[in-house]
Structure 1
Amino acid sequence: MGHHHRRDTERVCIRTRKIYDWVTRQIDVPLRSFSGEDLEAIFPTNHCPREGTICDFLGAQHTNPQNLTIRCFLTDAYGNPIDSVVDQDALICQEITQPNGRQSVNVTLPSGETVTLQKVKALIKGHVVVQIVSPTGTVICQSTPIPFATAQTFILCAPEGTQLNCHISFFECDTSLVCTDNFAQLDVSITLCLEVQVEADVKIEVEARFCQPREELAEAVLCPTTKFPPQCPDVFPAM
């Protein structure tokens, strides 16, 4: 790229979203298990037409229930499948308000320096649906939306006036249905990656000039690089 001389610059004031802190955490949601009446209730007859228990039905339909595939996926509250990375509105991810505000915590860094951060609590809630699929790929049973929730505590740079912004960057759901002569249980295991940012609207002064469009290139591969100014430089980003 050629060198561009600065010209026609002026000092401008802009309003932008400043990131004070940013962490990612893998979360294993507590295992949800269903047996007895609870197991039968999440597979209602309008979703899984049958007589008798769900295990009786599966045994009658297929001589070897091991050939069945059991899968689960993220949905909204009505059971419609969603993409966790795109459709964040179907998940609740919000700060849990503490009675006396965010508690300050003194943290000792590896260098030995002590800094004051804040304790931030977040609530994550959503739904999954479990499907039982035949070897040919036909859905023979589908559960009602199964709610899940987890509360997480983070130690962050979150001074008064900042807001929590969190979203799911990865979601995985595993499930298993165990049917024996005297035992029936469905287990649902959820793992997700939560990205948490502490943000606030700020007004900053920058030196800038108005842009003009460039000429199109015949072919170009652009790899975007996201850079933020250092925030809470003692702890974020990590050195």
Structure 2
Amino acid sequence: METEGLRPFPPFETVCIEVPKVYDFCFQAERRENVCTPLGKCCPPEGATVNCIINSAVCSEVGRSTPDQTGRANVTFAVTVTYTLQVLDAGGMIVCEFEDLMFSFTKTVVLCAPVGTFTNCEIVSSACTCLILGNQICCTFDLCLVIQSLAIVKLLIPSFGFCTPAMCEQVSPQPPFVCPPTLFPPQCKPLC
């Protein structure tokens, strides 16, 4: 008997597949300011601008803490950005060019990453803006990192659509320093 307003599920096949199961999936917007390069012998004319070209932006896992009882760990990634700067005159002609410039930093996020998982970090979009300040070019870089922890598993599944990432959790200070401290007693759990 059919209940009013409810439709029966369409028939589907249950299959066993071997897949990389996603244990955690998040994104992190990262901004790096004041990445500066000396002008050296380059003498930009009045009204000169800077064109910034990001050649590559990669990240990879370089460390992780022991997972806690829930399987969560602090996972650290090394991010390396390689870029080119072009100083342009008011007519858009290249006055001087700085190639193969690079900077790196580390980023730590909290992931569900129990023993047996591996991570994948991708920089899915990037942008940079630069100004000539005195005798140097200073740039701001914006990067969008998408991070996953995965393991190869066998699953019985139906398909329900695409996954979207949630924002990465920030790393909390480790004991003995805790901020903020526990201010109130915990709330009682409901009985049902």
TM-score (norm 1): 0.57
Instruction: Write the deviation string for residues 58-115 of structure 1: whole angstroms up to 9, x where unpaired.
Output: 3xxx4xx1x222121201xxxxxxxxxxxxxx433110135xxx33357xxxxxxxx5
Q: Distance in 2 between matches of 1:22 and 1:171?
A: 19
1:72 aligned residue: 52
Whether contact under 8 Å (2:78, 2:107) holds in the other structure is: yes
Distance 1:68 1:14, change over 3 A: same
Map 1:46-195; keep pairs closer than 5 Å. Answer: 53-55=41-43, 58=44, 62=45, 65=46, 67-75=47-55, 90-98=56-64, 102-105=65-68, 115=70, 117-179=72-134, 184-195=135-146
Normalized per residue, the structure richer in helix is 1
Q: Distance in 2 between matches of 1:30 and 1:12?
A: 49
User: 1:155: Cα distance to partner?
Assistant: 0.8
- Number of matched residues? 157
1:25 aligned residue: 28
Q: Distance in 1 between matches of 2:139 and 2:20?
A: 38
Give runs of ≥4 in structure 1 deviating > 6 Å: none
User: 1:207: Cα distance to partner?
Assistant: 6.7
User: 1:31: Cα distance to partner?
Assistant: 2.6
Q: Which is further off, 150-159 or 135-144?
A: 135-144
2:156 aligned residue: 205
Distance 1:26 1:206, change over 3 A: closer
2:11 aligned residue: 6
Whether contact under 8 Å (2:75, 2:110) holds in the other structure is: yes
Local SS of the residue matching 1:24: strand
Whether contact under 8 Å (1:171, 1:193) holds in the other structure is: yes
Identical aligned residues as a percent: 23
Distance 1:137 1:158, change over 3 A: same
Normalized per residue, the structure richer in strand is 2
1:196 pairs, out of 127, 139, 147, with: 147
User: 1:178: Cα distance to partner?
Assistant: 2.4
Whether contact under 8 Å (1:15, 1:203) holds in the other structure is: yes
Q: Distance in 2 between matches of 1:117 and 1:136?
A: 54
Whether contact under 8 Å (2:71, 2:114) holds in the other structure is: no
2:189 aligned residue: none
Q: Distance in 2 between matches of 1:92 and 1:140?
A: 29
Whether contact under 8 Å (2:42, 2:96) holds in the other structure is: no
Amino acid at match of 2:162: T
Whether contact under 8 Å (2:62, 2:78) holds in the other structure is: yes
Q: Distance in 1 between matches of 2:163 and 2:27?
A: 17
